[in-house]
Amino acid sequence: MTVESVQPQTSGTPAQLREPPLAGGAVPVFGHGLQLVRDPLDFMSRLRDHGDIVRLRLGPKTVYAVTTPELTGALALSPDFKIDGPVWESLVGLLGKEGVATANGPVHRRQRRTIQPAFRMDAIPAYGPIMEEEAHALTERWRPGETVDCTSESFRVAVRMAARCLLRGAFMDERAERLSTDLATVFRGMYRRMVVPLGPLYRLPFPANREFNRALADLHLLVDEIVAERRASGQKPDDLLTALLEAKDDNGEPIGEQEIHDQVVAIITPGAETIASTIMWLLQALAEHPEHAEKVRAEVESVTGGRPVGFEHVRSLRHTNNLILEAIRLRPAVWILTRRATADTALGDYRIPAGADIIYSPYAIQRDPRSYDRHLDFDPDRWLPERAKEVPKYAMSPFSVGNRKCPSDHFSMAQLSLITAAVTARYRFEPAADSRDTVRVGITLRPDNLRLRPLPW
Ligand code: HEM
């Protein structure tokens, strides 16, 4: 199958439309909820055996799950669906309603116009020196043979890169620690609230609830500090924060304080959590597949001629970039996405009623044996041009497509390439005795507690 041969199906004719089948395995009262809570990745991956779109019962609610690449593409590209639904509801508590990741309609379009220039392909080279510095600083801090706590290290470099490139934040170390601890707690709590919606129980003063509230409050305080500091400095560097502070609404009026706040949260939060989780999976892949780590090391050496890897080398690091894609394919940080139908509509041959919640899993799509030979093998060479063209359209869209597509795809790939190249040029990795690389499922996917020992080559 070629990429071009698969067109997104948006709808059949009304007479042909059917109701999606109910997925098997629902039990009274809970429906499919228990299975989703117990083993969400396996559950989402098995839904493809029940149909292209299936209905799920989550308690009293019906949710539609889309299981084929073509239909996830059609969903993401159709104007009949907006950002909403269970994941969205849980994110709004964190990101606020006025940031780009959660807004809809004209406000969302205006916000995308404000942030887009900072992420454009031609804006990325300006971030090169900061990315290089941070990637090399990471390797400088590590000591051969000493165990590295990959969770905190990955968060630290992710937060520092995003904050230094986009917000030009000073003194980010202390903030990176705070942000990473806060986000870990907040994301864990958000996920719990999403899969076990116990409503008012989360307002009771249990230790877990208190910890969640404290972390959330600190996260917002931190963003207020960043904004206040910039204002007090009187400086207006050419960066995303200046663009946000100077943004105007559709009437030409300055946007409100809440929107500025929510916008900063909406950029720094996904910028930290997704990149940090992906770095953890990359380090895990380098430890698990030493033959690929060696290939990356050799490639970096041949491209750089033994000099420190720099931004100008990133495009030539083919195997390194293929390894990153393969790590993202098997362990996508963003493993579940939601939408809500804004009108009675259709997806493929199925009828979708207005207000329906729809979910799909990039994790399940990117591991579908119908799209990938030896689908569970870690095989970076599947991204060589002659093989990559066999991958069906939308079977590998970890940054999504359409109007909600991640603005940071180029920015993220540049960060990930530099970090992977810098650490691999210097070290190979072995798991420490207490390392656990089992998947921890939350709003994002990450290893449970990855602890590696960097060793000299
Ligand atoms: C949206 C993935 C890194 C900022 C998204 C979406 C995906 C995604 C799948 C679309 C969500 C949807 O369709 O509902 C990723 C992955 C990343 C990554 C896999 C890294 C490996 C980043 C970084 C930033 C960022 C580094 C910022 C510095 C955003 C924002 C949105 C978004 C602001 C909302 C866009 C909108 O709704 O218009 N990301 N992302 N992401 N991402 Fe990323």
ipTM of the complex: 0.99
Mean pLDDT, residues 159-187 taken together: 79
Side-chain half-sphere of 235: how many Cα atoms within 13 Å?
Answer: 13
Residues whose beta carbon lies within 6 Å of some atom of ligand 1: 83, 100-101, 112, 162, 166, 266-267, 270-271, 274-275, 278, 333-334, 337, 398-400, 404, 406-408, 411-412
Confidence band of 177 (pLDDT split at 50, 70, 90): confident
pLDDT of residue 12: 52
Q: Which is nearest to 376 in space by CA: 61, 19, 41? A: 41
List CB contacts of 221: < 8 A, sequence separation 6 or more. none
Confidence band of 80 (pLDDT split at 50, 70, 90): very high
Continuous segment of H or E residues that includes residue 273:
helix 257-288
* pLDDT at residue 163 is higher than 60: yes
Which residue ranges make up each domain of the chain? 1-88+335-397
For domain 1-88+335-397, give its CATH number from 2.40.420.20, 1.20.1250.20, 1.10.630.10, 1.10.3720.10: 1.10.630.10
Q: What is the pLDDT of residues 275-312, one digit of tens each?
A: 999 999 999 999 999 999 999 999 999 999 999 999 99
pLDDT of residue 96: 78
pTM listed for this prediction: 0.92
Range of lowest pLDDT (131-140, 201-210, 293-302, 404-413): 201-210
Percentage with pLDDT > 70 across the chain:
94
Cα 452 to ligand 1 centroid, rounded to whole Å:
27
The whole-angstrom separation of Cα 12 and Cα 297 is 50
pLDDT of residue 8: 44
pLDDT of residue 136: 97
Closest-lying ligand 1 atom to the alpha carbon of residue 112: 38
Q: What is the pLDDT of residues 382-419, one digit of tens each?
A: 999 999 999 999 999 999 999 999 999 999 999 999 99
- Please give the radius of gyration of the chain, using alpha carbons only, rounded to the nearest integer: 22
C-alpha distance from residue 395 to each of 145, 168, 266 (Å): 39, 36, 26
Cα 407 to ligand 1 centroid, rounded to whole Å:
6
The whole-angstrom separation of Cα 396 and Cα 410 is 15
**DSSP-assigned letter for residue 31:** B
The whole-angstrom separation of Cα 271 and Cα 196 is 26
Placement of tokens 């995003």 in the chain: 162
* pLDDT at residue 86 is higher than 80: no
pLDDT mean across residues, the chain: 90
The whole-angstrom separation of Cα 235 and Cα 358 is 44
Continuous segment of H or E residues that includes residue 447:
strand 445-449
Q: What is the pLDDT of residues 236-266, one digit of tens each?
A: 888 899 999 999 988 899 999 999 999 888 8
Placement of tokens 């093989």 in the chain: 387
Indicate the SS3 state at residue 332: coil
C-alpha distance from residue 106 to each of 3, 243, 259 (Å): 32, 18, 14
Output the CA angle 203-204-210, nearest 5 degrees.
Answer: 80
pLDDT of residue 1: 30
Contact 311, 413 (CB under 8 A): no
Cα 158 to ligand 1 centroid, rounded to whole Å:
14
Query: Which carries the bigger pLDDT value, residue 267 or residue 218?
Result: 218
Cα 270 to ligand 1 centroid, rounded to whole Å:
6
